[in-house]
Amino acid sequence: MFRQPAREFSRWEGNALPTQREFSLAGSTGAVRVRCSRAARATLVAGWLSTGRGWSGVAGTGLSTVVGVTIDVRPTAESSAEPAPLVLLPAPPVSAALAARRTAWMLRMSLRRELVVQGWSDRALLCGVRDRQLARPRRGAYSPYDGFVALDRLGRHAVTSRAVLAQADVPVALSHLSAAVWFGAPEWGLDLSEVHVTRFDRRSGRREAGVVQHRGALLPGDLVEVHGLPMVSPTRAAIELTTAVDTEVGLAQVNHLLHTRQTTPEALRERLDLMRDWPETLRTEIVLRLADPRIESVLESRFVHFCYRNSLPRPEPQVEVRCDETGDLLACLDFVWKAGRRRPKYAELDGKVKYGELLRPGQTAADVVLREKERDKMVKRRTGMDGERFRWADLEPAREAITAERVRRLLADD
């Protein structure tokens, strides 16, 4: 079937558009079937049954409102050309830590049909799973038990996604959150119970057996290869994620990809321009407006979204405080409100990961807390700025109103 958008039809005449979704146009040299959207004005799909032009007349039921319709179909060079072949590009470079995690996710995995050829019976496989010699990431796929259970939830999802690719009957690539996992996505807010893939043939997808198939068009540059596995690029995965999760979770994922330099704000904007007719992309626009490559953690992303949701001024992230005499770096504050303010204010976020990173040999978390308090006193002495510290629990719904009031009081003292 030959498909082309409505704007490529050079002529459409008639005193009314058809109200029926599918109808036929008959001409002297053949017939063409046309399908309209529900609004009868979006996309027309024409099936060519001959090479004639100037299709006229109408046949069908329920079309009494259509009179004298004439359609002149002229294929353009773009619509008649064969689609460009999809090429797997190298994935962007990643940190050594993520590269090591990816290597761990490539533990040995075999499908049932491969094990049967090697001499395994179904009973032997069942006994292997029961005796904890084999793990079964999904039905028909097996891995060594010890290696699989040693992985975290992201790692197990990555192994399961490999099994889905190996068992797929049609060409597919990992997409949405399943691709983002391979790019080091934070686990927070992600539903890892299903593997997401995008079909190459654009046929209707489905949700079945723990796999969600999508049919979004894959364009040149959309596919990359990681350890021989096809998946969408970080840029496309970021846009896809924002349409599948809420704004807060999407912001954390996009900021991660920006901070790790696997994509750029310009690339995200350019790709979004090609996907604006996708469902839920209004949410994507909000995420991209809030995203910032300087944001380093999920907690910082949540704080930016917290300020947006509570109509608080947007703070500037990662502001350096330096000594006036020597220029030495004294502190790097998580967030500072200074636009249009006589006395800037700052916010510091305290997460478990942060305190873990600040621990020195022989120190406890209490020692880090005391050191951070001394740091706050030094910042105020050097800059005159007042600030507040916030924890993960302060951004939870039960405390959100209290935290918003704390920020308002801080900013009101100017």
Domain-embedded: residue 274: yes
Q: Is residue 353 part of a domain?
A: yes
pLDDT of residue 320: 86
For residues 166 and 261, membership in a common domain is answered with yes
Q: Higher confidence at residue 39 or residue 391?
A: 391
Instruction: Assign 3-class secondary structure to 160-229.
Output: HHHHHHHHCCCCEEECHHHHHHHCCCCCCCCCCCCEEEEECCCCCCCEECCEEEECCCCCCCCEEEECCE
SS3 content of the chain, % helix, strand, coil (to 5): 40, 20, 40
Q: CA nearest 413: which of 341, 333, 312?
A: 341
Average pLDDT rounded to a whole number, residues 70-92:
56
- 346 & 380 share domain: yes
In a domain, residue 264? The reply is: yes
In terms of domains, do 250 and 338 share one?
no
For residue 343, the one-letter residue type is R
| Residue of higher predicted confidence among 205 and 165 | 165
* Cα 356–Cα 361–Cα 366 angle in degrees, nearest 5: 55
Confidence of residue 362 (pLDDT cuts 50, 70, 90): low
Phi, psi angle pair for 335, to nearest 5°? -145, 145
The predicted-structure confidence for 18-32, as pLDDT tens digits, reads as follows 444 444 444 433 444
Residue 257 and residue 190 in contact, taking contact as beta carbons nearer than 8 Å: no
Provide the domain count of the chain: 3
Domain-located, residue 161: yes
Question: Is residue 112 situated within a structural domain?
Answer: no
The pLDDT value given to residue 314: 94
Q: What strands, in cross-sheet order, belong to the sheet with 141-144?
A: 110-111, 141-144, 134-138
- Give a yes or no: residue 396 inside a domain: yes
Structural domain harbouring 406: 314-412
CA–chain centroid gap for 344, Å, is: 35
Distance CA 182, CA 177 (A): 9
> Which has the closest alpha carbon to 410: 320, 341, 354, 316?
341
Report strand pairing: 223-226 vs 89-90: parallel
Residue 307 within any structural domain of the chain: no
In angstroms, the CA 150 to CA 156 distance is 9
Same domain? For 163 and 283 the reply is: yes
Same domain, 279 and 322: no
Q: What is the side-by-side strand order in the sheet with 345-350?
A: 316-322, 329-337, 345-350, 386-391
- Residue 229 and residue 170 in one domain: yes
> Is residue 370's pLDDT more than 70?
no
Residue 70 CB: number of other CB atoms within 10 A?
Answer: 15
Shared-domain flag, residues 195 and 223: yes
Same domain, yes or no, for 37 and 98?
A: no
Binned at pLDDT 50, 70 and 90, residue 16 comes out as very low
296 domain residue, yes or no = no
CB atoms within 10 A of CB 104: 14
Pair 318, 405 in one domain? yes
Which residue in this structure is represented by tokens 């959100």? 400
Instruction: Say yes or no: 323 and 280 in one domain.
Output: no
Instruction: Please report the pLDDT score of residue 66 as a whole number.
Output: 34
Q: Are both 282 and 174 inside the same structural domain? A: yes
Residue with tokens 């999904």: 138
- pTM of the full predicted structure? 0.75
- Asked whether residue 337 falls in the same domain as residue 285, the answer is no
